[in-house]
Every structure is written in structure tokens, then in C-alpha cells.
A and B are shown apart, each in its own frame.
Chain A
């Protein structure tokens, strides 16, 4: 019955076969283990770390913006932000249902949230509300223990204290498109100084478990707040100027301090509410803003370009004196018009100014004198000096979207239109009409260069130690002999009985300046002498006034440049506004000295 020894031997033989097979298979396992744990270690270690660690950014505080007089104009305000994490649909819906008892959610918002839930990775936050009201916050706090995957975080939003007055200077911010939602400047200082203001992102490394729940913080890098920026703007002057210009439909004003080229005020009317844009603007409001024919979003002081009109005459006069084409004593007889190639070019005064020298011509803004002078000078010389005075190129102010204007010359016309320059074009350019376009900031800078006797004079709007005493370095000086002739003439404009701005600008502290009325269309012969007020608003002339004061030791401190769009005459509209601004400036300075 029992098996014999042969049988046992066969079993022993076969168990060796079986055991060898086992050893082989176990060897395979160890080999595979080696492959996983040693060969592929890096890959799996990385995957394991990715499982375990979630890196979440912590946003820095954006730098604040101050005015020169220490007023905080752009700051960060705490807001309560409500977010929900993407999670399983039933939990998500349950949470939304609970949230609805506290905050109003429209069907559209709910659908958006559900869409987002599918799009974003699991357990990443979706914003429900950016700013919760106190009411909502209080209600939510009561039921917060019932909610899962919902969190209320403190977030910063930008708040501007002078939203309209400084809308173009300071600009506004918007959230970045990516999930970070960090604030980025879009216009104004917010955009140009974004790199300084934005600060550096920090991060928090949290360990999470398989359910996505945060277990502990492994490591964190604190965000570095952005640097504060101080502007050269004086908030009081800015506000005062804004209120003055706001009486008009549209216009702008620049006030420069000649001691260091700093911008004391820069106003563009109409302004807009930067607080609205930064926080809760809706599509309709935005569309309204960008479709407004008055283009409130444009900074008229640096982006808007205009024909300068008579303001340009001082460039022509300076060029003529410097080139020796005329002397201060040379005169031209103004009969009310100049004839060129069978066409008559009229002076603004139909009856003529009689015999005028360069000083008289500037004072009375005689067109004929400049027609005659420009004939001798030629367009290219005019353009050369205009460029020296900073026209036709950006002033380099620390703001985005600055226009460079347009400085026509023979070469430009040939390149642009393929036609040669016509002599009559020189005539109309000499009185600041035609193709010539400038920005208000350029004209103010031009005055700055003239009165500091320095071609390198440049405006700045950021207060920093480096741009102090810029006028002291006369690296590129202007010939004072010719400049003083122009300065005398500009002084007469505001102080001599026949000056164009004498009625509004005669002051104890002495203003020098130049008026300008730039035409926006060709005047028809039958309209000659018709008052500007009888035209439709958009057909009226732009009113310019450029002035400096006070004239202590012939060393003025402030440049005021005013432009009222379609305001009519420079002397009647722009000059009185400039006068009020000067009054305010001098008053503030005196108060400050006391």
C-alpha cells in the first residue's frame, strides 16, 4: 500500500524543479524591486513629493503711493474673499445650497461655479465673492461650521483717495489672468512703477493627505511687500487745478516745478473713478466709459496731441535769432496778411499790427512777422530747434502711453506722403498749425528748458533723491543772449498794455507766458471775425496758455500749461485759469515759507 523509495526519489527530484522555479520567480521580484526602488527612484520620489506637498502662493502687499505733501493716495484695503474648493459634486452642491441662505447667488453665478468646479484641479479654490459685506460675513460666520471646503480669506484691494483728480496719474490695477490673481497696474503710475509696487510673492508649502486636507505647514517664504512710491504731485494743488479745469468740458493742465523738473500737478478732464474700475465695475459701465466721445480714460496731458498754435512762435523766434536770420531790432510790416504764390495768409488781426520787431510780434502774437521770418528760416531749421526744445519726441515722464507728437519737416513729408514740402506749409507751421502736433507736457517742458537755460531739462513725477538739482547741471546750456530776448517778450505778453494775456495775467509776482488758440479746421472767409462762442463746441479752437512765475530775479519757479479743448481763445479762456493756478501756487508757497 505504501509507496516505495522510487516514488520518494521522484518527489524529491520534482521538488527541486519546483523550488528552482520559485527561486527564479522570487529573483524576478527582487529585480523588479531594484528597478522600482533604485533605478526609478528619482521619478517616484518626485511623484511622492508631488502627492504630499502643495505649494500655495502668498500674495505680497502692493506698495502704497503718496503725494509729495505726504497724502496717501493709493492704499490697500482688507476685504473678505469667499472661496470654495473644487470637490465632489454632491458635497459641492450641498455647500452652495448652504451658502445661498447667506448670500444672493444668481442662477448664472451658480452655473459658472459648477463649470469652474469641473475645470480646475481638485481642491483648488474657486472665488465666489471678492468682497463680502458685513451682513454676509456675519451670516456666514454663523453657519460656517456646517460648511466644508469653504474658506473666507483676507485679501487686499486697491483703494484710491483721490480717484477722479488723480485718475490718469495714478491709474488703476487689475487682477492677473492666471489663478494667482495678483494685482497688476494697468495705467498711470500703477503701470509704470508696477515692478516696484508689486513686491515679491511668498509661498506656503503645506503637506496634504490623500483627501486633500492640509496636515501641516512644512515651510513658508513670506512675501515681500512692494515698495512705496512718492510722487512729486502736490495733492492740494492737484485738487484745486482739477476743480478749475472741471468747469470746462475737456482739458488738461500741467504744473512743473523748475527747480527739479518735478510735476506738481497733472490734470486731465474728464477724469474717471479708479476705485470703480479697480473693484466692481461691470461690463455696461466699462463700455460706457470706453465709448464716451470725451475719452475719459485718455490722459490728455501726455497722450492727447494738439496743434500748438501761437505757443510755437517762440521756437521760431528763437531759431531765427540763433541762426542770425533776424536781429532783435529787425522789423516786419504787418498789414494783416502775407501773400505767397497768389494766396493770402492772414494775420489773426485783419487790420494788421503795423511795424513789429520780434518782441512785439511775440507780445501781440503777430502772424505776419512769423510768416516772413519762416520764409527766411526754412522748415528744417524750425524743426531742428523745435526738436532741441523737446517737441516731436517723448519727454520721458514716468507714465505709460506718452505720445511723441509730430514735428513735420521736408524729409518727413517725403517719407510719409511721397511729395515735396510746399513753401506755404512752412508758413502755417511757423504759427503752430498744419501737421504740427504737440502734447501739453511737451510744451510745458519746452518752457522749462527755456527758463532753466538747459536743453536737458526733463519733467519727472517720481520723487527720488536722484532728480534733485537737475537744473544745476548745465550740461547742454541754451544761449542766454537769444533766450533773454524771448523771455522779455514773454514777460511783456502778460505785463505790457498790448500783450495778449495782460488782462488776466497782470500780477504782483509777475507772470510771463504765451497764449495760443489752435484751429481745428480751416476758417472759411465768411466766418472771419465771428466769435468762437457761436461755433459748435467741437469746431471751436483749442485754448492754450503757457506761463511761468514768479519772476523773482528773472528766475521763475513754476511752469503752468493749460489747455482747454475747444475752449476758444487762449487769452480769454486758458490764461484766466492759469492765473488762478499761479495765485494758488504763490499762496501755497508763501504759506509754506511762513
Chain B
């Protein structure tokens, strides 16, 4: 009986032709990008990256095979568990790169804030799946989602991880907006939030303040905080239309580019493949986001819709913040580019997202 169900699922796979095509292209670019940023050597790190991709696909399949109803059913439980993990990180997480983002489980270094994003989406989807449009007009019915968004955001901000906090905030706000939150009040909230920003300055760490100041004026300290952005802009700008050619990027090969395989992987690719290559990547991601949204409109349940839209928002906020920051449009906040950047946590997060999307599409007929 169960096996039949699973068999049925696999027969359903050709539904995802477009998703697989986009994923395939992104992952090819991902491997080439990593290969290039390790100076064209098929090094242990590149192999590790491929292993992560394969592992990520396995996780994606696993999520796809899981019963879709458990996500709705256990949404609050997931939220509670990841929130607890986040608090633990705050209390005793190992300090890495100046930020307490990791929790060492002895066999796996784990970043609860990554899972927190997914848990937040699940929890908000669950909450709004039961809220009627009429109830959504009442502000007090939004108190819980706002709290669900703000608590982890503040915790992550304290770690300090400005980027992830920003992503959570965008995703949370986006979902609250989708639920039918009064538009006028929403706008008012955003405007007053912007006005309150200067007070937030107080709570920022020195290095965050530096990043923001440097963002305002990149020449303030060209060899210090501004160095990353300046070198990244030089790398992107020197790429021209078709780029310097695969493995020919001098900025990344000669290490002028910092974090060239993680946060700045987009720069590495933009330098070697130029405007054509970098636009292609943006269009690929846009296609993926559109696919997520299309799934959302295809599904029949409100929970699945919110889930797809939430994941779409998550993907968008990552892509936008990352690309904007490497181009110097936003301050450098340390957000990886989904599926392209080197690193396990982010890879798993987006593979899970894809798994959830596939699962919700497969269950679209289910009310």
C-alpha cells in the first residue's frame, strides 16, 4: 500500500520538468563556479561541494516523499524546536567568525537560523491557513504572526547576523501582507519602521555600523571595510559583456576578491562570464521564483499557497540581498547565494524548499 503510493509519486516526477531544468542549470553553474574559485583545481573542496549537492538532492527527495500533511500538522512543533535551538545558540553556541550562528552537535556543525527561516514559513502558513479574510482585517489577529516573525529576527540580530535577520523580516512581512493585512496599515507600519531605523543604530555592533557607513561612502576606508565591496565591484566591472573567460578572472584567481567561493560567488562568475553570464543567473533565479509562485497558484489549499509563496519570498530575498550586496547596492551583510555559494546549511535549506514545493505540487488536488 505504502510502496504503491511511493511508486505513484515517482511516476509523477515528469510534472517537474521545468523545475528540474532550472535546478540542473543552476547546479551546473554552481559546480563550475566552485571549480573556478578554487583556481581550476578539482580539489577536495570542490568534491565536497558536489557531495553536498548530491546529499541535498537526496534530502529534497526525502522531503518530497514525506506525507505533505505532516508539515501542516507539526508546523508549530518545528517552530518551537528550532526557536529553542536558536536560544541555545544564543546561550552557548560556539563562536565562529565573530558571530554565534552555529551549534556544534559533535557530528555536524549546524546553523539553527537556517532552519528557523523554514520553520517561520511553516508556522505562518499554518496560522494563516485558518484565518478568514474578514478576520484578517482585524489587526489583533495578526499579533501572533508578528510575534512569530519578530522573536527569531531579534534573536538572530543579536547573534549578530544582520543578513538572516533581514531575510526573516522580509519573508515575515511578505507573508503577513499576503494574508490580507489592511494595506494602509501595512504601509504605515513600513514608513514608521523606516523612521525608527536611526534608533536601531544603537543596537548595532561596531562592525555592522562600519559596514553600513562604508556602504554609504565606499571610499571611507578602501583598505578596510570598503575593500571587499571595492574589489568586488572591480571584478564585476572588469568582466564586460562576455567576461574574461572561464578560469581567467584575475580578481578571484589572485585573491583580490574576498570570500570568493561563498558570499561573493556571484562576483567570481560575473568576472569570468560578464554581463551575459550574470544576467543569465539572475534570470535563472527569477525563473525559479516564478516557478515557486506558479506552484502556489496551482495548489488548492491556503496552507500550501502560503508555503509556496513564503518559500518564493525566501528565495527572492536571498538572491536579491546577495547580488545587491556584492554590487555595492546594499551593505555587506553575509547572505549566501542559494545553491551557488559554498556551504552546507544554505544548500540543505534550499533543497528542502524545493522538496516542499514538489510535495505541495504533487498534493495540489488534495483539499
B and A form one assembly: yes
Interface residues of A (CB under 8 A from B): 1-4, 6-8, 10-12, 14-15, 18-19, 22-23, 25-26, 28-30, 32-34, 36-38, 40-41, 43-45, 47-49, 51-52, 207-211, 215
Which chain B residues lie closer than 8 Å to A6 at the CB level? 133
Interface flag for B296 (CB, 8 Å): yes
8 contacts between A and B (CB under 8 A): A2-B367, A3-B302, A15-B293, A28-B329, A32-B327, A33-B270, A37-B237, A51-B231
Interface flag for B129 (CB, 8 Å): yes
- Of B4-12, B249-257, B358-366, the stretch lying at the interface with chain A is B249-257
The distance in angstroms between the C-alpha atoms of A23 and B312, with both chains bound, is: 13
Whole-angstrom distance between the Cβ of B179 and the nearest chain A Cβ: 8
Q: Which of B132, B238, B239, B327 sits near A7, CB closer than 8 Å?
A: B132
Which chain A residues lie closer than 8 Å to B282 at the CB level? 26, 29-30, 33
The distance in angstroms between the C-alpha atoms of A52 and B131, with both chains bound, is: 59
Which chain B residues lie closer than 8 Å to A29 at the CB level? 282, 320, 323-324, 327, 329
Which chain B residues lie closer than 8 Å to A49 at the CB level? 238
The distance in angstroms between the C-alpha atoms of A211 and B254, with both chains bound, is: 9
- Of B49-57, B212-220, B273-281, B337-345, the stretch lying at the interface with chain A is B273-281
Taking a contact as CB atoms under 8 Å apart, the answer to whether B250 and A51 are in contact is yes
Taking a contact as CB atoms under 8 Å apart, the answer to whether A18 and B313 are in contact is yes
With A22-B289, A29-B323, A30-B282 as contacts: A7 and B133 at CB distance below 8 Å: yes
Q: Which of B174, B237, B279 sits near A45, CB closer than 8 Å?
A: B237
Whole-angstrom distance between the Cβ of A45 and the nearest chain B Cβ: 5
Taking a contact as CB atoms under 8 Å apart, the answer to whether B240 and A38 are in contact is yes
Which chain A residues lie closer than 8 Å to B323 at the CB level? 29
Taking a contact as CB atoms under 8 Å apart, the answer to whether B329 and A47 are in contact is no
The distance in angstroms between the C-alpha atoms of A215 and B39, with both chains bound, is: 13
Interface flag for B235 (CB, 8 Å): yes
Taking a contact as CB atoms under 8 Å apart, the answer to whether A15 and B240 are in contact is no
* Residue among A12, A211, A215 facing the most chain B CB atoms (10 A cut-off): A12
Interface flag for B120 (CB, 8 Å): no
Which chain B residues lie closer than 8 Å to A211 at the CB level? 255
Interface flag for B236 (CB, 8 Å): yes
Q: Which of B294-311 contact A (CB under 8 A)?
A: 296-297, 302, 305-306, 309
Which chain A residues lie closer than 8 Å to B235 at the CB level? 44, 48
Q: Which of B177, B241, B286, B302 sits near A8, CB closer than 8 Å?
A: B302
Whole-angstrom distance between the Cβ of B366 and the nearest chain A Cβ: 13
Taking a contact as CB atoms under 8 Å apart, the answer to whether B174 and A37 are in contact is no
The distance in angstroms between the C-alpha atoms of A36 and B239, with both chains bound, is: 9
Interface flag for B80 (CB, 8 Å): no
Q: Which of B290, B296, B329 sits near A32, CB closer than 8 Å?
A: B329
Interface flag for B316 (CB, 8 Å): yes
The distance in angstroms between the C-alpha atoms of A38 and B278, with both chains bound, is: 12
Taking a contact as CB atoms under 8 Å apart, the answer to whether A48 and B251 are in contact is yes
Taking a contact as CB atoms under 8 Å apart, the answer to whether A41 and B256 are in contact is no
Q: Which residue of A lies closest to B271 (CB)?
A: A48
With A26-B282, A38-B241 as contacts: A15 and B234 at CB distance below 8 Å: no
The distance in angstroms between the C-alpha atoms of A86 and B180, with both chains bound, is: 63
With A44-B234, A48-B234 as contacts: A11 and B327 at CB distance below 8 Å: no
The distance in angstroms between the C-alpha atoms of A560 and B367, with both chains bound, is: 123
Whole-angstrom distance between the Cβ of B299 and the nearest chain A Cβ: 10
Which chain A residues lie closer than 8 Å to B109 at the CB level? none
Q: Which residue of A lies closest to B251 (CB)?
A: A48
Taking a contact as CB atoms under 8 Å apart, the answer to whether B254 and A30 are in contact is no
With A33-B270, A38-B240, A44-B238 as contacts: A18 and B177 at CB distance below 8 Å: yes
Taking a contact as CB atoms under 8 Å apart, the answer to whether B237 and A40 are in contact is yes
The distance in angstroms between the C-alpha atoms of A4 and B300, with both chains bound, is: 11
The distance in angstroms between the C-alpha atoms of A4 and B367, with both chains bound, is: 12
Taking a contact as CB atoms under 8 Å apart, the answer to whether A11 and B255 are in contact is no
With A4-B133, A26-B286, A29-B323 as contacts: A37 and B270 at CB distance below 8 Å: yes
Interface flag for B178 (CB, 8 Å): yes
The distance in angstroms between the C-alpha atoms of A15 and B329, with both chains bound, is: 25
Which chain A residues lie closer than 8 Å to B185 at the CB level? none
Q: Which of B240, B305, B316, B367 sits near A22, CB closer than 8 Å?
A: B316
The distance in angstroms between the C-alpha atoms of A166 and B166, with both chains bound, is: 80
Interface flag for B192 (CB, 8 Å): no
Whole-angstrom distance between the Cβ of A56 and the nearest chain B Cβ: 17
The distance in angstroms between the C-alpha atoms of A12 and B298, with both chains bound, is: 10
Whole-angstrom distance between the Cβ of B325 and the nearest chain A Cβ: 11
Q: Which residue of B lies closest to A12 (CB)?
A: B297
Q: Which of A2, A33, A52, A215 sits near B236, CB closer than 8 Å?
A: A33
Q: Which of B237, B275, B324 sits near A44, CB closer than 8 Å?
A: B237
Taking a contact as CB atoms under 8 Å apart, the answer to whether A48 and B180 are in contact is no
Taking a contact as CB atoms under 8 Å apart, the answer to whether A2 and B327 are in contact is no
Which chain A residues lie closer than 8 Å to B250 at the CB level? 48, 51-52, 207
Which chain B residues lie closer than 8 Å to A41 at the CB level? 237-240
The distance in angstroms between the C-alpha atoms of A160 and B274, with both chains bound, is: 59
Contact with A along B53-80 (1 / 0, CB 8 A): 0000000000000000000000000000
Taking a contact as CB atoms under 8 Å apart, the answer to whether A37 and B278 are in contact is yes
Q: Which of B243-274 contact A (CB under 8 A)?
A: 250-251, 254-256, 270, 274
**Leading 10 A-B pairs by shortest Cβ distance:** A44-B237, A48-B238, A209-B254, A7-B133, A210-B255, A37-B275, A210-B256, A45-B238, A52-B250, A36-B237
Taking a contact as CB atoms under 8 Å apart, the answer to whether B180 and A7 are in contact is yes
Contact with A along B19-62 (1 / 0, CB 8 A): 00000000000000000000000000000000000000000000
Whole-angstrom distance between the Cβ of A461 and the nearest chain B Cβ: 53
Which chain B residues lie closer than 8 Å to A7 at the CB level? 132-133, 136, 180, 302
Q: Which of B111-132 contact A (CB under 8 A)?
A: 129-132
Q: Which of A14, A26, A30, A51 sits near B234, CB closer than 8 Å?
A: A51
The distance in angstroms between the C-alpha atoms of A249 and B177, with both chains bound, is: 104
Which chain B residues lie closer than 8 Å to A2 at the CB level? 129-130, 302, 367
